[in-house]
Structure 1
């Protein structure tokens, strides 16, 4: 029996799509999670397989090679990834974020050059915002892009360093946040599309060691005099980067909220099953009142979070989800996920601290969700400005 009611935004088409997403996740992701955790990245072939069955760029129009669906299709895939305990595949960044920067802000030429290659898996997408010294302060990035015509062609010379970049080790296309006018704050920010293959001066640093998400490659990226064609300025006009970031952040934060609620539901389901099978003092752990009350509270947290999330998804599908609403969804659901995952791990006892148990991976994966996509403290600051 599911913990919560069926989401209000689901329909027959999405339920049929769920079968495809579930089969793919069970066949191509679940058996490989431990191996990917050791490798610190998924197999490159996974992207090609996902492209072949149509799971990349689900909400990108068919004319650009995408699935022609909506954000709801992306949400269903996220739910199925959570169901198998996936903490490795960075498709939500690739399809839900990078592709949508191109769709919403790119020139027609940029869309036709890159979206079909993202949809097929030929290119893996990443977005490079965070720098070693700036964190969430995107208005003060130090990466510089200087426009020049030296050498005969109009291009930018890109210099800087980025860190905590999801898909960084495999990315063939990186959306880079840079200052094209260092004298300005928000109005000096632009986004550049960097093709990494053969790019002189581009270097990938180490895949970072994390306490969770071990199979997801999170890398450092370095740009040392990288030449970027002028036509790769996203949207074709300088100084629009901060506005473009703000326009896309609500979807990014909603993606995080969808993953958080799905992970919360999966954690409670696996804990209910475990406590009904595990015995202590001659009876199933579930029969102890403390266990039942803890799980009752956790199930309620999931139900409340999912009801709010469904409301946000509906608003987003209508084009009505604002920055404040997305910030509320992101901080609330990720905060609740951390609490629920912690309570669930406790009910596993010592086994909950063993890395081979899925609950331990769920617990460590939960912690970062209060940090990425803008820390929850930043979310509360955004919300407070609307009061």
Structure 2
């Protein structure tokens, strides 16, 4: 290991199609107007972007196309080209295919070749896992620049024929919580104006003995007609565990760096739903931290979330000497992740 720093030079995102508000979903699925009010009051997410035409059921974007767009934007923002990239890392829970790996499809489209590539299968904290892999590559001296990608297309798992009026809560909640998106960041050992130094970063599995809080099925030819729902979410378990886990991550990051809570300028909180994110931020009690949030208008877009937040933070709020803490919690088998940045 070397003593050099790793810097995030740029971040970018790609969202499919126009934003779909709760009223649009209510009309499409024949839900009572009271359902829309319930979503607003108890979920708090106003809109999301879907890579799916709700009327025809046709998928309009793939993860590869979204990640290509985000990666191209991130490289351009960093003033770099495909030949400058030493490795590519992608995190996703919803690859377009089991093979070839989506990361390699994206690299090909971007004109990147002759480098190491990695694809991590994970929920939303996979974005931080991907940043961690990139950081370790750079700290080992194996390169100077890594393109990190993350994203999910959840809408391809929706059954548009489902009668939501009869759906179980664990299935119903997925139609309002999630959105589709991809994001990208360029990490380097060389700082640049507007970049941020990574001061801390960790991910940790803490799911021993805990049942999954979220399940996303994969069906093959042998069980394609299974009556198991494609996606389920134990929202009650998430409400119970995520706020506590978020506080643990914040304490670990601050203690490890010797930072005080009143020295944090930006907070990138978990983006589970508009309501829960707001409650978690209030509970953390950072006196002057500005929330960097995207869930209200983009939904919970899985592995793209952290990159959407980074894009907003690097756009001006994270200036020289300013400090940010990011937290990501994954409920599938309970992972917690955190990172800290300081503007260059």
- TM-score, normalising length from structure 2? 0.28
Q: Higher relative CO (CA 8 A, sep ≥ 6), structure 1 or 2? A: 2
Please say which structure displays the higher CA radius of gyration.
1
- Which structure dedicates a bigger proportion of its chain to strand? 2
TM-score, normalisation: structure 1: 0.26
